[in-house]
């Protein structure tokens, strides 16, 4: 059974800082890994999809890396803004199941 751990659980930073959010998973037999953003009381918004054959994926100020063999992914957020405040969830897609989520990292960026 895939287990997903996200560190830190919560993070509070001033605007402008560069951030790294960590995700680890126990089963490296995955098709891909997605990073999502969730605002309070809302659904999930897909940020990035990294395929198992890729090492990195970038979208604007976001960069995600994947080390499948060690079961790790990181989400790098450059020049953080108050609008980035949300919970960030990573979800590997195992070969023999469906998207599996950690508890997320709750990010607060203060002006």
Partner 1 sequence: DTGVSQNPRHKITKRGQNVTFRCDPISEHNRLYWYRQTLGQGPEFLTYFQNEAQLEKSRLLSDRFSAERPKGSFSTLEIQRTEQGDSAMYLCASSLLTENTEAFFGQGTRLTVV
Q: Which of 34, 57, 73, 80 binds partner 1 (CB under 8 A)?
A: 34
Whichever of 81 and 97 has its CB closer to partner 1, that residue is 97
Smallest distance from partner 1 to CB 79, Å: 25
Listed ranges 13-21, 29-37, 62-70, 73-81: which one lies at the site for partner 1 (CB under 8 A): 29-37
Burial 21-33 (b: 16+ CB within 10 A, else e): bebbbebbebebb
**Containing H/E element for 7?**
strand 4-7
Residue with Cβ nearer partner 1 (9 or 78): 9
Q: Which of 61, 66, 77 is nearest to 32 (CA)?
A: 66
**Which span (11-19, 26-34, 56-64, 73-81) binds partner 1, by CB under 8 A?**
26-34
Integer CA distances (angstroms), 83 to 28, 74, 108, in order = 33, 20, 9
Number of neighbours of residue 69 by Cβ within 10 angstroms: 7
Candidate residues 22, 32, 63, 85; the one interacting with partner 1 per rule CB under 8 A: 32
Least separation in angstroms between residue 5's CB and partner 1 is: 10
């Amino acid at each position: 059974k895939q287990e997903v751990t996200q560190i830190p659980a919560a993070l509070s930073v001033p605007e402008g800082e560069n951030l790294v959010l960590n995700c680890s998973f126990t089963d490296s037999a995955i098709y891909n890994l997605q990073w999502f953003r969730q605002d309070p009381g809302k659904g999930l918004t897909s940020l990035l999809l990294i395929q198992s054959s890729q090492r990195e994926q970038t979208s604007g100020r976001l960069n995600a890396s994947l080390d499948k063999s060690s079961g790790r992914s990181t989400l790098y957020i450059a020049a953080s803004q108050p609008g980035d405040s949300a919970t960030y969830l990573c979800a590997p897609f195992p070969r023999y199941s469906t998207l599996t989520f950690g508890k997320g990292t709750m990010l607060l960026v203060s002006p």
